[in-house]
Structure 1
Amino acid sequence: MFLKQVNPTPEQRKIFFLNPNQPTLLSGRAGSGKTTTAILRAKQLINFYKRQGLEPRVGFFVFNNTLKNYLEPLANIYLQGANFEVWVIDKWCKNFLETRGLLNYIIADESLCKFCLKQAIEAIKLSSRNPRLINYLGYDFL
């Protein structure tokens, strides 16, 4: 399972030069190059941070196990030696809540949801070696 030699499109190249301290969300139709772009972007970010003497962590969040099982071997090949994880988003959310003892709570009030999310972000920022707030989720993945 290999990515063929890729000549990125102008749209894909734009993604490579986005701010390295901002999250990247890729969306598009099936076969549009999202996975290829994600791996190439991750490789670029890993190199960017390694040049600064850092050991970055990369997180890929996907919607199902099929994509996880497709992406993991590709990432192993193209991100050799990198610290990365591939998560199915609902399992990551469940793990996040479970490790904080919040899995069995039901929060119906929107303002309470926002409060809990802000608390979660602060907890992650405090527990991270190199804290960076990424969008509204707050994990220290690229």
Structure 2
Amino acid sequence: MADLHLTINEIPVPASRPRVARWGTYIAEPYKSYKKYIEALYAEKYHNEQLFDRGIPLVAHIHFYRPIQKGLSKKEHARRANHEVKPAIKPDLDNYEKAIYDGLKKAWFDDGQIVKHETEKDYDENPRTEIEVREWTK
């Protein structure tokens, strides 16, 4: 039974919607770069091996750590660094998740295999995303 463990040491980037312009449809650059970075990390660690076969139900645990805003009092900065304050602001948690699932598309047959997920976002002095995906068990 395979497990996926990956830490993305970058500021989390949400999935963006395709934009329409006079010259056609395009995806915003920050999202494209972030997705490619996740794909590269996965290729480096797992050699693009499909860890989970088609039809296997999966459980995902994803923790997003956003940067702490500048210009806060020392007390407020410490509260956020200690995870006493949650970032109840945009971007939405589901858009963060979508970016991760898109970047890890080679790990499974389809991200529809994810039957349960626990996702959280916090502030932290070390912005990153920690991911664990494993097969679902009763």
Say yes or no: TM over 0.5. no
TM score, norm. by length of structure 1: 0.30
The structure that is strand-richer by fraction is 2
The structure that is helix-richer by fraction is 1
TM score, norm. by length of structure 2: 0.30
